[in-house]
Amino acid sequence: MLNKSEIYFSMGGLPQYFNSVAEMFKYKINNKTKLIILNTSSQPNSIPHLGTLTTLMSVFALGAELKKHYKLDVLVQFDEIECSPREFIEKDGYKYVKSISDIVENSNESIADHNMKFYFEILNFLKDVTGINYEIRTYDEFQKNLSVRKSLLQVVNNKDFFVNLFNPRDGKLHIRTKCPVCSAIDKSMHKTQIVSVIENRFIINSFCYEHGSYEITVDKNPNNFVEMNTQLRDLLKGYLISEDSEEVLTAMIDGGDWGGTWAMRIHAEGMAQLGKRLPIRLFTPLILDRSGGKLSKSHYLNGKKYSYVKDYFNDYCQFVEHYGVNGLNKLFKEVEMWVKEPKRFFRNYSIDYIEMIMEE
């Protein structure tokens, strides 16, 4: 067990220059600003774990601080990434996937819908303790947005640049669609290609291992579903934020694993190529395992588990069963300190630290 007397909070870097994390919004706020939106996202491919919980707590705690600091309305916008892959199929050497929104396992509900029930529990708890409202935006809603489709066309028209920026390994833009019959997606992109770019639209030709070839036109018609990889979603979210009205200030708040090189290469370089200003973007503290790596969801451990991490830290339901609502409140009080004191926010925390504060 860690000794609390041996825990230090460095004042190096940004903590030297800001009294609170809320001050980082000051340069973007003026007398026209009426609403601050804090955007965050998650893939509901499993029951939320500790890292997801502390990220969501950080977003709502920051929202409460911003509301208090600037006397403005604040809204949390949660992007549900229900296009996350789950079922992998290999046919004739090619890989296909079906997403968590298209796979029904129990009680006639999709994997995404099942896991979102636990996200709603967390979101409603945080709404109650902070007074900050939230809204859900699904990926399906996001990809239908006209500005998203307009910016996607810009990416297609700058294909050479964005291929080298995003996917130099395979040299492809990962813009896909799903079979209109069974919803399978050509994950490997071996039989998916953009065959035509005409003015304000482009055509994707793809192939299903069971139902053969098909194609869609990507334009302002929202009925034609277009799937894109993480790099494109991240970039086009920034593009969409850049088109906010003067009364709205939207910031992207994500876990610390999306910071650093990812944010600079994928997001900043991409936004510059599209001629757009960067949004405010902050990254919440990561929860680390003992090796210094990000604590992974059990979903990503392929049936394995950490020998030293309690099961209830990898499963929100078990966390509540073990600690109760008092445990949620205790963890939230800890996270509140992070957003109030930059020296606590601009760092990461080990699983041993979290266990220590929860057992106090």
175 neighbors 194 (Cβ within 8 angstroms): yes
Residue 286: is it exposed, middle or buried by C-beta count within 10 angstroms (0-12/13-18/19+)?
Answer: buried
**Neighbouring C-beta atoms of residue 133, cutoff 10 Å:** 12
Confidence band for 43, pLDDT divided at 50, 70 and 90: very high
Mean pLDDT on 132-139: 99
**What is the C-alpha separation between 142 and 81, in angstroms, rounded?**
10
Catalogue all structural domains in the chain, each as residue range(s) with its CATH number. Answer: 4-84+105-166+230-359 (3.40.50.620)
More confident residue, 105 or 133: 133
Which pLDDT belongs to residue 360?
86
pTM of the model: 0.95
List helix spans (H) across 259-359. 260-262, 269-273, 316-340, 342-345, 351-359
Mean pLDDT on 31-47: 97
pLDDT digits (tens, 9 = 90+) for 103-115: 998 778 999 999 9
Which pLDDT belongs to residue 221?
87
CA dihedral 286, 291, 297, 300 (to 10 degrees): 130
pLDDT digits (tens, 9 = 90+) for 56-66: 999 999 999 99
**Phi and psi at residue 353, in whole multiples of 5°?**
-65, -45
Considering the chain, what is the average pLDDT of its residues?
Answer: 93
Which contiguous run of DSSP H or E holds residue 70?
Answer: helix 50-70
Confidence band for 305, pLDDT divided at 50, 70 and 90: confident
